[in-house]
């Protein structure tokens, strides 16, 4: 339940200026009825100046009159007229001075054991810059000789939950990227296969004999041999008939 600003000061004003019961004031201000009774008796909240909730647009005068007429009714706060300030968005992660010297070790650990994590996520997790990440990766950091890969959780730079979220997100991104690359490769292979007709599907009759291998040339169909091809040509005709030879 929403409470008015400065509940005790509001209770002091309501006790002094209205006929509301202690229970009504206690429920409206989020106090115990005995505490409200102590305020009325001068034993609690001594020296606190009353705060007028009507002047501060927290409750309407008509609402107070309604609750004074009905002891069982409860006061209702008015909707705030001043726009509520938006919560400040979380900016770059702050790293204490005592931990900043350990950031290169944490960067080296991530680059060595989790290279799938993009630089942007490393920056966000460790509160560092891309220039520092590149210098550690390329071994151009000014303190490169003393950099040792160490877990950022053990260094106190980030929590285990933050590290786990970063690793899970990086693993999902890598899996999605591999799936996209596999689909692209299958599509390219399918398009390449559709553009060229396999040699086995080309009829042998359309392939020149000179291009056929010996086994294919031997298996190629040939015309049927004639009698002349099998027996050769007969003896030369000397012009004599068979009857002349018998004679």
What is the token pair recorded at 102? 């350990």
Output 235 or 174, whichever has higher pLDDT: 174
Q: Are 25 and 74 in contact (CB under 8 A)?
A: no
Output 230 or 25, whichever has higher pLDDT: 25
For helices 22-29 and 33-40, the axis angle rounded to 10 degrees is 110
Q: Are 121 and 173 in contact (CB under 8 A)?
A: no
In this prediction, residues 129-151 reach a mean pLDDT of: 92
> 148 pLDDT band (50/70/90 cuts)?
very high
Q: What gap in Å lies between CA 208 and CA 206, rounded to an integer?
A: 6
Q: What per-residue confidence (pLDDT) applies to 209?
A: 54
Of 25-29, 52-56, 233-237, the poorest mean pLDDT is in 233-237
The rounded mean pLDDT for the chain is: 79
Flag whether pLDDT at 53 surpasses 80: yes
Of 2-16, 48-62, 165-179, 206-220, the poorest mean pLDDT is in 206-220
Q: What per-residue confidence (pLDDT) applies to 24?
A: 92
Output 245 or 12, whichever has higher pLDDT: 12
Terminal-residue alpha carbon distance, the chain: 148
Q: What gap in Å lies between CA 137 and CA 147, rounded to an integer?
A: 11
Q: What per-residue confidence (pLDDT) applies to 201?
A: 52
pTM over 0.95: no
Share of the chain above pLDDT 90, in %: 32
Q: DSSP state, 7?
A: H
Length of the chain: 247
Q: What per-residue confidence (pLDDT) applies to 241?
A: 47
Which tens digits make up the pLDDT trace of 149-187? 999 988 888 889 999 999 999 989 888 989 999 999 998
Output 30 or 198, whichever has higher pLDDT: 30
The candidate with the shortest Cα–Cα distance to 104, out of 130, 125, 133, is 133
Domain parsing of the chain, residue ranges: 7-69, 97-173
Q: What gap in Å lies between CA 128 and CA 108, rounded to an integer?
A: 12
Q: What per-residue confidence (pLDDT) applies to 150?
A: 92
Which tens digits make up the pLDDT trace of 194-232? 765 555 555 555 555 555 555 544 554 555 666 666 565
Rg (CA), the chain: 49
Q: Are 74 and 68 in contact (CB under 8 A)?
A: no
């Amino acid at each position: 339940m929403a409470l008015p600003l400065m509940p005790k000061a509001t209770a002091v004003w309501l006790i002094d200026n209205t006929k509301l019961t202690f229970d009504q004031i206690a429920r409206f201000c989020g106090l115990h009825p005995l505490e409200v009774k102590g305020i009325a008796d001068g034993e609690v909240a001594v020296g606190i100046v009353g705060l007028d909730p009507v002047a501060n647009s927290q409750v309407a005068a008509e609402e107070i009159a309604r609750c004074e007429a009905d002891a069982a009714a409860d006061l209702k706060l008015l909707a705030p007229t001043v726009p509520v300030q938006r919560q400040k968005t979380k900016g770059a992660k702050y790293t204490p001075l005592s931990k900043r010297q350990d950031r290169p070790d944490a960067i080296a650990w991530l680059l060595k054991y989790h290279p799938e994590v993009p630089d942007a996520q490393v920056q966000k997790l460790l509160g560092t810059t891309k220039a520092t990440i590149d210098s550690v990766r390329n071994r151009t950091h000014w303190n490169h000789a003393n950099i040792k890969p160490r877990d950022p959780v053990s260094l106190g730079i980030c929590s285990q939950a933050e590290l786990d979220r970063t690793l899970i997100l990086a693993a999902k991104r890598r899996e999605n990227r591999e799936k996209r690359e596999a689909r692209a490769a299958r599509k390219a292979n399918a398009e390449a296969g559709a553009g060229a007709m396999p040699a086995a599907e080309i009829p042998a009759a359309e392939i020149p004999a000179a291009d056929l291998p010996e086994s294919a040339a031997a298996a190629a169909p040939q015309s049927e041999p004639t009698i002349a091809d099998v027996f050769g040509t007969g003896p030369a005709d000397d012009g004599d008939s068979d009857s002349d030879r018998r004679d």
